[in-house]
Structure formats: structure tokens, C-alpha cells
């Protein structure tokens, strides 16, 4: 899990650092533009996705992924 967590953190870091490259190559995302502003919406969106990847990578590396994801997704999972 540590290696997978490091890979996810690396992907998130690349998303945050190279936001302009992603914007030029993949273009603007309409939902981010509508919800986060007209000029920097997609840039901010790419950065937020990158930060989320970094956070998920840290959770996976700490070994608490099962507990965290069970808690985070508990409103969506039916109780048996």
C-alpha cells in the first residue's frame, strides 16, 4: 500500500504543479468553469483534484484507507 500511496501522491503533485500543461492539453472543464468561476475555474479544479489525490495517497500510506473510506462512503452504503 505504501508504493501505491506514493504513486497516487506523485500523480496529485504533478496535477497541482503542471496545471497549465493539463489545461492546454485536455482543455477547460465546463462544470469547473460554471461552479468555480470563469477565468480560473478549470485551473482551480485541476488543483483541487490533485490535492484530493495527495490526500487519498496519504490515507492509503497510513494504512487507514479501509476505515476512512468506510466512514466517508457510509451515507451511500446501505446498512445491513
For residue 56, give the nearest of 14, 9, 1, 2 by alpha carbon: 9
Cα dihedral 69, 71, 74, 77 sign? positive
Residue 77, SS3 per DSSP = coil
In the chain, domain spans:
2-61
Per-residue confidence band for 64, with pLDDT thresholds at 50, 70 and 90? confident
User: What pLDDT, on a 0 to 100 scale, did the predictor assign at position 77?
Assistant: 85
pLDDT at res. 38: 67
Q: CA–CA distance from 49 to each of 7, 70, 77 (Å)? A: 15, 21, 23
Angle at 47 between CA 45 and CA 48, to 5 degrees: 65
Residue position matching grid coordinates 501522491: 9
For the whole prediction, is pTM greater than 0.75? yes
Amino acid at each position: 500500500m505504501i508504493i501505491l500511496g506514493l504513486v497516487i501522491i506523485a500523480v496529485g503533485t504533478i496535477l497541482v504543479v503542471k496545471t497549465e500543461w493539463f489545461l492546454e492539453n485536455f482543455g477547460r472543464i465546463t462544470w469547473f468553469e460554471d461552479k468555480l468561476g470563469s477565468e480560473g475555474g478549470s485551473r482551480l479544479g485541476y488543483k483541487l483534484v490533485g490535492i484530493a489525490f495527495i490526500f487519498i495517497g496519504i490515507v492509503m500510506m497510513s494504512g487507514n484507507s479501509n476505515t476512512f473510506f468506510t466512514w466517508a462512503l457510509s451515507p451511500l452504503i446501505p446498512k445491513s
